[in-house]
Amino acid sequence: MKRTFCFAKRNLKEIVRDPISVGFGIVLPIVLLILLSIINSNIPKEAQENMFEIRLLAPGISVFGLSFIALFAALLLSKDRESSFMLRLYTSPMTGGNFILGYALPLLPMGVVQLIFCFAAAIALGLPFSANLFVCIAVCVPIMVVNIAIGLICGTLLNEKAVGGLCGALLTNVTAWLSGCWFSLDLLGDGFRKFAYILPFANAVDAARAAVDGSYADIPGKLWVVSAWAAGLTALAVVIFTHRKKLK
């Protein structure tokens, strides 16, 4: 475990010392929260539109913001892969498990920090503070793992430029469109809605909203889908990384 923690410490330093990444992950969700709250305040009451209410918006944007973790993970890994630094590490006694855990571990606290900032902003915008917010942070852990695993898979397979496009643009858009974080999935038809609920993002948003609402009974039904994706994608990330690391 010492090797894993040493490597995780290095990765945490690399991430937090890149102000653009940190700023992006923390500031963008807050900006979205503020903009959509402003839109909400301008929607006439007779429209009966509640999607942008802060109690629905805050957990949705929180889950959306976590998609940036995939970008952090993918960029870090792809940059390392393209450098001689990785060659040095490959000749060291580090195993595939040391690498994957070392990349993943620092991103979990990063995700929690992102959520804390997002909920602090939501409280300032009117979300009542309650213990449910802490439950919501815990409920978001599986979707963090999903994003970390996606990032590690992309970082293992793609170069830095492709990772920027795939994780920075495509994945964040997929998360936005398929999670229902700021519009109802019903608006896109039944087929699209069913497809979205096969994937983890919409389930994660529903679980986060249930947590914020205190509707704890609704959480497990959604969370198991996210957890299954998290387990499957993590296993896939380990397999792909180990395969790539093997002697050629």
Partner 1 sequence: MNAIETKRLTKRFGMVTAVDALDLTVREGELFSLLGVNGAGKTTTIKMLSGLLKPTDGSARVLGHDLLTELPAIKPLLAVSPQETAVAPNLTVRENLELIAGIYNSDPKRVQRMIDELGLKEAEKFKAKRLSGGWQRRLSIAMALVSDPKLLFLDEPTLGLDVLARRELWQVIESLKGKVTVILTTHYLEEAEALSDRVGVMNGGKLKITGTPREILDAAGTENFEEAFIRLAGGEAK
> Cβ closer to partner 1: 9 or 194?
9
Minimum CB distance to partner 1, residue 106 (Å): 13
Stretch that binds partner 1, among 1-9, 24-32, 57-65, 130-138 (CB under 8 A): 1-9
Whether the CB-CB separation of 236 and 220 falls below 8 Å is answered with: no
Regarding 216 and contact with partner 1 (CB under 8 A), the answer is no
Residue closer to partner 1 (CB basis): 41 or 92: 92
Q: Among residues 90, 100, 84, which one has the least CA distance to residue 248?
A: 90
Site map (CB under 8 A) of partner 1, residues 7-26, x = contact: x-xx--xx--xx--------
Please give the Cα distance from 140 to 206 (Å, whole number). Answer: 11
Establish if 241 lies at the interface with partner 1 (CB under 8 A): no
Nearest distance from C-beta of residue 168 to partner 1, angstroms: 20
- Check residue 44 and give left, alpha or beta (phi > 0: left; psi -120 to 50: alpha): beta
193/245 with CB nearer partner 1: 245
* Binding flags for partner 1, 71-100, as an x/- string (CB under 8 A): ------------xxx-xxxxxxxx------
The whole-angstrom distance between residue 169's C-alpha and the CA centroid of its chain comes to 14
Q: How far is CA 69 from the centre of its chain?
A: 5
Q: How far is CA 147 from the centre of its chain?
A: 5
Spatial contact of 131 and 214, defined as CB atoms under 8 Å apart: no
Q: Does 6 bind partner 1 (CB under 8 A)?
A: yes
Is 5 or 129 the residue whose CB approaches partner 1 more closely? 5
| Residue 3 engages partner 1 in binding (rule: CB under 8 A) | yes
Q: Are 116 and 52 in contact (CB under 8 A)?
A: no
Whole-angstrom CA distances from 62 to 39, 79, 110, 202 are 18, 27, 13, 12
Residues lying near partner 1 in the complex (CB under 8 A) are found at 2-3, 5-7, 9-10, 13-14, 17-18, 83-85, 87-94, 247-248
